[in-house]
Amino acid sequence: MTSVHLLVLSVILNFALIGCSQAEGFFDWSSNNIQVLTGGTYDLGPERRNSITIEHADGWQYGENFAFMNIINRHDVGTEFYGEFYPRLSWSKITGSSPSLTGFKDFSLVAGVNLGNLPKSDPFKAYLIGAGVKFDIPKMDYFQIDVLAFKSDNVHTTGIQISPVWSVPFQISTLHFKFKGFADWQSEEATGGEAVILAQPQLLLDIGRMAGYPEQVYAGIEYSYWRNKFGIKGLTEKVTQAMLMMTF
């Protein structure tokens, strides 16, 4: 891995580890969580894996940032690191006015970088740029769709990625849940092979609320559906994992 590659991965990890206390300075708000996952079955590499995901999101004067880092314990190639970082500029924050169209909350310009430390011979790197739309939907924490140009170093063509992201809180009797996640669709030009769909919905129960600490500790499951994984035709991976999420 090159020194530049290590530097950018470090920047992503530092963003993902930014504490809430710093939100009082540069940030308008800050949200952080650590997710611990275990399960299988994976089609490539070890069938079962344990992983930790660190997520950070924040808002600032002219936009927002989002970053995450996956740290995966693998028995075949050692520890895998994979991270993504997305800064965005907000139309409503820059102009001081919200969209006049009903159902729309904000528009944004988005850039992104995706980095991993595998394969060791040529670690994955990809760069994205495009636009996002945030919708104003009752009873949802958020629903947003990004449409991005996608270019990875190991593919000669530039393709398209479309990524909806959502979070829906709901209640059954005295139990509080959250249904959240994302989906990525990538074109053939983006993958260098087949078009890809990756979806990772999570269903989480607010167990912290039972002990008097609402919205701080969640337990549940994550289901990952990856059609044509890595652009490989016919390779569809379906993985269910147990999940514990702690917010701070």
Q: What is the pLDDT of residue 20?
A: 47
Q: What is the CA radius of gyration of the chain?
A: 18
pLDDT greater at residue 1 or residue 225: 225
Q: DSSP E strands: which ranges in the chain?
A: 29-40, 48-60, 63-74, 78-90, 104-116, 125-135, 142-152, 159-172, 175-186, 196-206, 217-227, 237-247
Is residue 10's pLDDT more than 70?
no
pLDDT in tens, 73-110: 888 888 999 999 999 999 999 999 989 889 999 999 99
- Does the predicted TM-score (pTM) go above 0.75? yes
- Residue 127's CB: how many other CB atoms inside 10 A? 16
If we measure between CA atoms, which residue out of 181, 182, 195, 184 comes closest to residue 230?
A: 195
Is residue 39's pLDDT more than 90?
yes
pLDDT in tens, 140-162: 999 999 999 999 999 999 999 99
Percent of the chain with pLDDT over 70: 90
pLDDT in tens, 151-209: 999 999 999 999 999 999 999 999 999 999 999 999 999 999 999 999 999 999 999 99
pLDDT in tens, 108-121: 999 999 999 999 88
130 and 159 in contact (C-beta within 8 Å)? Answer: no
Q: Six-digit token pair at 201?
A: 């919905």
- What 8-state DSSP symbol labels residue 156? S
Q: Strand pairing partners for 78?
A: 74
Q: What is the pLDDT of residue 175?
A: 98
